[in-house]
Amino acid sequence: MPKVKIPPVLRAQTGGESVVTVEGGDVGTVLRGLADAHPGVSGQLFDDSGELNRYVNVYLNDEDVRLLDGLGTAVTDGDTVVILPAMAGGRL
């Protein structure tokens, strides 16, 4: 099964787990499976229409899925999906 690396900001919703294994044949199915297993993650990952929130970056084995096939990017056993929420702020 693919592994999903959970960023610190979402770990409270996954019971403190930093890595979760989730079944799925593509990135979208894996992320939706994660949201089904841990409902608190859903609102952080997906917007009201079910699309990935624009401030969430997703990588498959260090490749930005936007440069691949997006949420339709195929995954296999041993793959790692990384969720990186975009950060804002800084010093002006």
Query: 77 or 88: which carries more pLDDT confidence?
Result: 77
Let me know if residue 37 belongs to a domain.
yes
Let me know if residue 74 belongs to a domain.
yes
Task: State the average pLDDT over residues 60-85.
Answer: 94
* Domains of the chain: total: 1
* Domain enclosing residue 41, as ranges: 3-85
Q: From CA 16, how far away is CA 8, in angstroms rounded?
A: 8
How does pLDDT run across 3-41, given as a tens digit for each residue? 999 999 999 999 999 999 999 999 999 999 999 999 999
Contacts of 77 (CB under 8 A, 6+ apart): 1, 2
What's the start-to-end Cα distance of the chain, in Å?
A: 44
Record the pTM: 0.89
Question: Token match 């979402």: residue?
Answer: 10
Let me know if residue 11 belongs to a domain.
yes
Let me know if residue 92 belongs to a domain.
no
Let me know if residue 91 belongs to a domain.
no
pLDDT value, residue 85? 86
CA distance readout (Å), 86 to 37, 55, 56: 23, 5, 6
pLDDT value, residue 86? 79
Instruction: Look up the CATH number of the domain holding residue 64.
Output: 3.10.20.30
Let me know if residue 77 belongs to a domain.
yes
